[in-house]
Each structure stands twice: as structure tokens, then as C-alpha cells.
């Protein structure tokens, strides 16, 4: 067994590998860029080596620097994690040539599966179901139209070297096939330097289901059940679960056996994933093979009780697989939510900056420990006070739950999301909460088009209707009442000026149209009972019990006997006296005051927000890479004004109306904050 390994990655996956290495008694070496100097993976590792500047092409993607770091520190093996160089055959070969061990498949297996056209031919030879299509590079748009007609619409046009949603189009007719082929070829040439494009049948109502495989150097290959990954936004997975709520045992067995056949055909040694597209009739077709550890591997670890990172390391060290196919378990139900640094209410634009508060829910399962299952696990590469840099992926954590069945797992996940506190940046937690509450998701009735179908026009607060909004009003009154009780108990108050906790309050919330809503609330105190009260809102009564302290950001307790966790913050930017409550994806701001104060509040003049229509504002934190206008220039609506880069994405800002540029308020190369003005029109 290795004495020391280097992890050629960053973030949560680097921390994940360190956890298993520590369990196995293996020393670890982290590598980092200048942006990750204080990152969590650097602090957790036994040693750390600086690679270079923040951009990944100057640090995490430089093979020479990584191999030099391994030699310098005496590491015997390199674990690549996922992304970066994990599926780079040249890197895997170089590692072996330098006398080190690559903790992953052999370079020839990566090469065989890395090319989408070659991998499909190989799959066909291994008798794996493949989608009807044209798997040779297509020379012209005219030829593409003819091939599409022969296969039968709809068809999918894909770049051979594509990935992450780039170089992919769906065509339903000749015109779309012609234009889609041209766009795909251009995108592929610009993004990957490889303009080969192929066409295949588009499976309607498709589900994305993948099989986890594991092979060793002795010819043994097994499959570890499946993962359901159909909840995707723009071809990026959002929620993954294991097992799938859709496929039958017979389909699972057939898919697993075909995945093993393909892995054996390429002499696969390590953990890998064979991805299938599954039609509504349970017909399944090979998509591609990911020759690395997947982001969503924890759900497989939960239902099988196996540590996949440990098995990867053991296989790389030459050991045989410790179990046969018949010993693979499938116990309970696991779900993973990817928690991303993005603002779902601003079209999921990246959100970078300081994590002012980062408090995950209480964990009962841990990385590298499969003895403790059925509960909550958090895989993350960040910590309280850390920085989310603009240079890398937007995922900041993975929230994993393991329940007795699917409904139990959904319940656990909703509770865990309620208790996941992230402040300083925006996150997609409200969106995740909305997905988990959607009746079709709960019923298991979805496919890869689910998000596009139900949230095609974007995501707004109206998409997260709370099942009982009066409960949040009652809880706001409960928190305010407890605060007043504490104030009333302070000694030394002047006679006649003592604080009176009172029983009648008015809770003022902000409606969607900007109007204030006043709700009278009555609080009945249980005599001598700390942390308990009966709150009446309208005709409903809420018996609330909680042992949480007033300064806790998460208040846990029961309401009418049912458990709850609600995030509560005191004071907002708009009103330092207000309470901000967040539960099941719904966020409200509530001002809890006496009836007399509410009367006076109604008389307060409404302060309209400033008119910012003359400005082009930055929709997110990021780097201003280009300003395309100058003072005095006439600009028409839809004309390009500026380009902002964040988290490997370029966002082009356009003029909303015709106008003349008055001032350019930000310079190229400047780091921008959200809503920072870039250009002012006159």
C-alpha cells in the first residue's frame, strides 16, 4: 500500500480523498493555486505545494507542475479527483512513465472511452445497446440533414469531444438539423479544437441513469447498482439519487451486465461510470463512459456501504476487489443535492465572495465511514469565513441523505436544506427546496426535461409556495415575544418604564407587489413554560415549542406536534428591526410590532427605490473582461455593452434601450460586485 499520495485537485473532492487516505494511514499532499492559499483542502492535507496563479490553465491543469510536486514530496501515487486532468489520457500516461501510480483507469481505457464516436463503436462491438445514429464524422450540413431524415426526427447533433452541454443541439426538422450542425461544429472547434460532429436518435421523455462499475488489475469487474441523474439544468446535474424510482429489477440487471461487458472490453481498472439514456418504455442506450470518480458517488456509497475512494486506491495498489457481484448490497434510498454558489432568482448567475456564515446541517454520516449510514452527510471544500473564488466551478457543497425509503430520504433532505445556513453569497438552496416539494418529483414522475418544462421561464419566489405561510407569521411573533420576555426580565428597570411583553402583535410582511400586509397575531403564554407558546393567526392556532436560543440562526422545535427547522436572522439591510425567516425554500421578512406602532407604521410615507434604468449594472460578482462602448457613443437596444467572466462562464451584457453613453464607470480588468454600475447613459 502507498505511504503517500498527491491529490491533483481542489475543493470538496480533494477533501473527500484526504478523508479516506487518513483512514487508511496514507499521508497526503495537496496542491493549490494562489486563489486557494487558505482553502480547506490545503489545511487538511499533511503537505501542500503551490502550483501557480489562480487560473486553472496556469495551475491545476499544468501536468509538469503536478508531477514535479509529487516527486518533490515523495508521493508514490496521484489521485486526480474529477474534472481538471482526471480524464486526460496524456496525463495518466505521463504519471506512469515517471514511475508514479495514477489512481484511476489505465491511459488506454481513458483513450478508448474519451472519444464519443470511438466509444460508441466499441460499445457496439461489446454488444451494449447503442442509440440508432451515424457514428462517423459528418462532413457537411447537407449530409447532416440527409442522415437526420434517414434516422427519423427528432435527432440529437453532438460534438465528438463535447461536454458540459457545449456542442449539442436537438433538431425536429430539416432546418433545425442544418443550423444545428453548423452551430455544433463551430462551438466544438472553438471549445475543444475538434470539429467532428455526429448524429443520433433523440430519445423522447428520456431519463439519465448511470451504472457505477468497479474493476481491478486481475480482470474482475462488478457493477454497484445505478444512479438516477435526470434532474438536470442545461445538462448539468442538480439532484441525484440511488436507486432509480423508475427502472425495474430486470432493467437494472441488464444495464449492469452491459456496463460490466463494456468495462471488460477496455480492460477497465478503477471506479468508473457507464451512462445510459433510458426511454419511457425502459429501453436503454449507451451514452458515454466517465473514466473517473463521479461527483455523485456518495449516493452509491450509502446504498452499498462501500467506500469508493478506498476501493480506487486499493485497486491502484494492485489489490483484488474485496467482493463479488452477488455480495453488492442495495439498502435504503440516498439523495444528493448539489449546493452551488449561484443566484436562482437571477437566472442562476454565479455568486462569488466571502462566506460570512457557512453552517451545514448536523451530520450523522461521514466521508470514508460507511459504518454510520441512514442520516445526513455534507461533502464540502469550504468553511466559515472562506472565499468562493471566481475562477473555478460553482459547487460549494454536496448535501447527501440516506433514508429507509424514497419518501423518508425526501423528508430528510428537506429538513437538511432548512438547516443549511449560507450567508455572504447566494446559493441554489431555495431552488432545491422547490424541486423536492414538486408533486411530480415526489411521485418519481420526471425526465431530463423536468426543469426546462416546469421552470423554463426562470425561477422566482412565486415558484416556492409555502404549504402554510401563516406558520412563518406565527413563528415571527413567537421569536419576538420571547425576545420581549427576556427584556422584561432584566432587573433595575425604572417604575412605569418597564418592558411589557404583551400578547397582541401585528406582523407586517411585504407582498409580491411591494405592498405591506398587516396581520394581527395573539400570543397565549403557557404559564411557567419556557420556550413554549400558543400563537393565533387569523382563525388558526399554532402551539410552538422550541429549546433554541434567541441568538441561534436556526430555530428547531415542534409546531402542533410536528418537527420544524427554520432559519431566523434578526435585522435586514432594509430594516434592522425586522426578522428574516427561511423555510422550505420560502423567505419572508417580517416586522413584529405592537398594534399602536402598526397604526403609526401605516402613516409612514412609501420610499420608492432609486431609478437605475440609466445604468448598466453588473448582474453578479465577476471580472470585467471587456467594455465595448465609450463616452459619447450612440448605442442601440440589444447592442453589446460589456462582458463579465465568473466561474468559467462569460456573460455578455446588452443595452436594454437606445441611448448615448454618458460615463463608463468601471475599467477593464476590474473585479465587480453585484449591481455595481458599469455604464451610465444620458
What does the pLDDT average to over 420-446?
Answer: 95
Whether residue 114 is contained in a domain is answered as no
**So what's the pLDDT on residue 648?**
65
Total number of domains in the chain: 5
Specify whether 412 is located in the same domain as 273.
Answer: yes
Specify whether 389 is located in the same domain as 411.
Answer: yes
Last residue of a domain, one of 148, 182, 201: 201
Lowest mean pLDDT among 9-18, 25-34, 213-222, 471-480: 471-480
Is-above-0.95 flag for pTM? no
Query: Which ranges of 541-606 does DSSP label H, i.e. alpha helix?
Result: 595-602
Whether residue 109 is contained in a domain is answered as no
Band of pLDDT at residue 573, cut at 50, 70 and 90? low
Higher-confidence residue: 498 or 92? Answer: 92
pLDDT tens, 132-158? 887 778 889 999 999 999 988 889 898
**So what's the pLDDT on residue 166?**
66
| Average pLDDT over all residues of the chain | 91
Of the residues 187, 210, 288, 342, only one is catalytic, namely: 288
Specify whether 304 is located in the same domain as 365.
Answer: yes
Specify whether 450 is located in the same domain as 523.
Answer: no
**So what's the pLDDT on residue 363?**
95
Band of pLDDT at residue 202, cut at 50, 70 and 90? confident
Instruction: Provide CB contacts within 8 A for 246, sequence distance 6+.
Output: 207, 209, 228, 278, 282, 444
**So what's the pLDDT on residue 203?**
84
Specify whether 163 is located in the same domain as 241.
Answer: no
Last residue of a domain, one of 398, 430, 454: 454
pLDDT tens, 365-390? 999 998 889 999 999 999 999 888 88
Share of the chain above pLDDT 70, in %: 97
**So what's the pLDDT on residue 501?**
81
**For residues 228 and 220, what is the distance between their CA atoms, to the nearest angstrom?**
25
What does the pLDDT average to over 208-213?
Answer: 97
Is 288 a known active-site residue?
Answer: yes
**So what's the pLDDT on residue 97?**
96
Question: ω before 154 within 30° of 0 (cis)?
Answer: yes
pLDDT tens, 645-680? 877 677 889 888 889 999 999 999 998 888 899 999
CATH number for 591: 3.30.700.30
Task: Of 305, 367, 301, 287, give the one whose Cα is nearest residue 41.
Answer: 367
Taking phi first (over 0 means left), then psi (-120 to 50 degrees means alpha), and beta for anything else, what does residue 514 get?
left
**So what's the pLDDT on residue 607?**
72
Specify whether 396 is located in the same domain as 418.
Answer: yes
Specify whether 180 is located in the same domain as 272.
Answer: no
Grid cell 463579465 — which residue? 644
Specify whether 299 is located in the same domain as 425.
Answer: yes
Whether residue 479 contacts residue 535, with contact meaning beta carbons closer than 8 Å, is answered with: no
What does the pLDDT average to over 192-203?
Answer: 83
Q: What residues make up the domain containing 513?
A: 469-488+500-602
Taking phi first (over 0 means left), then psi (-120 to 50 degrees means alpha), and beta for anything else, what does residue 284 get?
beta
DSSP output for 384-424: TT-EE-TTS-SEEEEEEEEESSHHHHHHHHHHHHHT-EEES
Last residue of a domain, one of 602, 628, 651: 602
Cα dist from 124 to 109, 128, 213, 261, 432, whole Å: 16, 5, 18, 11, 38
Amino acid at each position: 500500500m502507498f505511504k503517500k499520495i498527491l491529490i491533483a485537485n481542489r475543493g470538496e473532492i480533494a477533501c473527500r480523498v484526504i478523508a479516506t487516505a487518513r483512514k487508511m494511514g496514507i499521508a497526503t499532499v495537496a496542491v493549490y493555486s494562489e486563489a486557494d492559499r487558505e482553502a480547506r483542502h490545503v489545511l487538511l492535507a499533511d503537505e501542500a505545494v503551490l502550483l501557480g496563479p489562480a487560473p486553472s490553465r496556469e495551475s491545476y491543469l499544468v501536468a509538469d507542475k503536478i508531477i514535479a510536486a509529487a516527486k518533490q514530496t515523495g508521493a508514490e501515487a496521484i489521485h486526480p479527483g474529477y474534472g481538471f486532468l482526471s480524464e486526460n489520457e496524456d496525463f495518466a500516461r505521463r504519471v506512469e512513465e515517471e514511475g508514479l501510480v495514477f489512481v484511476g483507469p489505465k491511459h488506454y481505457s481513458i483513450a478508448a472511452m474519451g472519444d464519443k464516436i470511438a466509444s460508441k463503436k466499441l460499445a457496439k462491438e461489446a454488444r451494449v445497446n447503442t442509440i440508432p445514429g451515424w457514428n462517423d464524422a459528418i462532413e457537411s450540413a447537407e449530409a447532416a440533414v440527409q442522415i437526420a431524415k434517414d434516422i427519423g426526427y427528432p435527432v440529437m447533433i453532438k460534438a465528438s469531444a463535447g461536454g458540459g452541454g457545449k456542442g449539442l443541439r436537438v433538431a425536429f426538422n430539416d432546418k433545425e438539423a442544418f443550423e444545428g450542425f453548423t452551430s455544433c461544429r463551430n462551438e466544438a472547434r472553438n471549445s475543444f479544437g475538434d470539429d467532428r460532429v455526429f448524429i443520433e436518435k433523440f430519445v423522447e421523455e428520456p431519463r439519465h441513469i448511470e451504472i457505477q462499475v468497479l474493476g481491478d488489475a486481475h480482470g474482475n469487474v462488478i457493477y454497484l447498482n445505478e444512479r438516477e441523474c435526470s434532474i438536470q439544468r442545461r445538462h448539468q446535474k442538480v439532484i441525484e439519487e440511488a436507486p432509480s424510482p423508475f427502472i425495474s429489477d430486470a432493467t437494472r440487471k441488464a444495464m449492469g451486465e452491459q456496463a460490466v461487458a463494456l468495462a471488460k472490453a477496455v480492460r477497465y481498472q478503477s471506479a468508473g461510470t457507464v451512462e445510459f439514456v433510458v426511454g419511457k418504455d425502459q429501453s436503454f442506450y449507451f451514452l458515454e463512459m466517465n473514466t473517473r470518480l463521479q461527483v455523485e458517488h456518495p449516493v452509491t456509497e450509502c446504498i452499498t456501504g462501500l467506500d469508493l475512494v478506498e476501493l480506487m486506491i486499493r485497486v491502484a495498489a494492485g489489490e483484488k476487489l474485496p467482493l463479488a457481484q452477488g455480495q453488492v448490497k442495495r439498502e435504503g434510498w440516498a439523495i444528493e443535492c448539489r449546493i452551488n454558489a449561484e443566484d436562482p432568482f437571477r437566472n442562476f448567475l454565479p455568486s462569488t465572495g466571502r462566506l460570512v456564515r457557512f453552517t451545514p446541517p448536523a451530520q450523522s454520516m461521514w466521508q470514508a465511514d460507511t459504518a454510520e449510514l441512514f442520516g445526513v452527510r455534507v461533502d464540502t471544500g469550504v468553511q466559515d469565513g472562506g472565499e468562493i473564488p471566481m475562477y473555478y466551478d460553482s459547487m460549494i457543497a454536496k448535501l447527501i441523505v440516506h433514508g429507509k425509503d424514497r419518501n423518508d430520504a425526501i423528508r430528510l433532505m428537506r429538513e437538511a436544506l432548512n438547516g443549511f445556513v449560507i450567508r455572504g453569497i447566494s446559493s441554489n438552496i431555495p431552488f432545491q427546496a422547490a424541486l423536492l416539494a414538486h408533486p411530480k418529483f415526489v411521485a418519481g414522475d420526471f425526465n431530463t426535461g423536468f426543469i426546462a418544462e416546469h421552470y423554463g421561464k426562470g425561477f422566482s419566489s412565486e415558484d416556492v409556495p409555502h404549504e402554510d405561510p401563516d406558520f412563518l407569521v406565527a413563528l415571527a411573533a413567537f421569536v419576538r415575544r420571547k425576545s420581549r420576555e427576556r427584556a422584561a426580565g432584566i432587573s433595575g428597570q425604572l417604575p412605569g418604564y418597564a418592558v411589557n411583553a404583551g400578547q397582541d402583535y401585528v406582523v407586517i410582511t411585504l407582498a409580491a407587489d411591494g405592498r405591506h400586509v398587516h396581520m394581527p397575531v395573539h400570543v397565549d403564554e403557557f404559564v411557567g413554560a419556557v420556550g413554549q407558546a400558543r400563537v393565533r393567526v387569523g382563525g388558526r392556532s399554532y402551539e410552538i415549542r422550541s429549546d433554541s436560543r434567541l441568538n441561534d440562526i436556526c430555530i428547531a422545535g415542534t409546531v402542533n406536534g410536528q418537527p420544524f427547522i427554520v432559519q431566523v436572522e434578526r435585522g435586514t439591510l432594509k430594516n434592522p428591526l425586522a426578522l428574516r425567516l427561511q423555510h422550505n425554500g420560502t423567505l419572508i421578512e417580517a416586522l413584529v410590532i405592537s398594534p399602536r406602532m402598526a397604526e403609526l407604521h401605516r402613516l409612514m410615507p412609501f420610499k420608492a427605490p432609486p431609478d437605475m434604468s440609466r445604468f448598466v449594472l453588473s448582474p453578479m460578482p465577476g471580472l470585467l473582461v471587456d467594455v465595448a462602448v465609450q463616452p459619447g457613443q450612440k448605442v442601440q437596444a440589444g447592442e453589446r455593452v460589456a462582458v463579465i467572466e465568473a466561474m468559467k462562464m462569460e456573460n455578455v451584457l446588452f443595452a436594454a434601450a437606445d441611448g448615448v453613453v454618458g460615463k463608463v464607470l468601471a475599467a477593464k480588468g476590474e473585479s465587480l460586485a453585484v449591481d455595481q454600475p458599469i455604464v451610465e447613459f444620458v
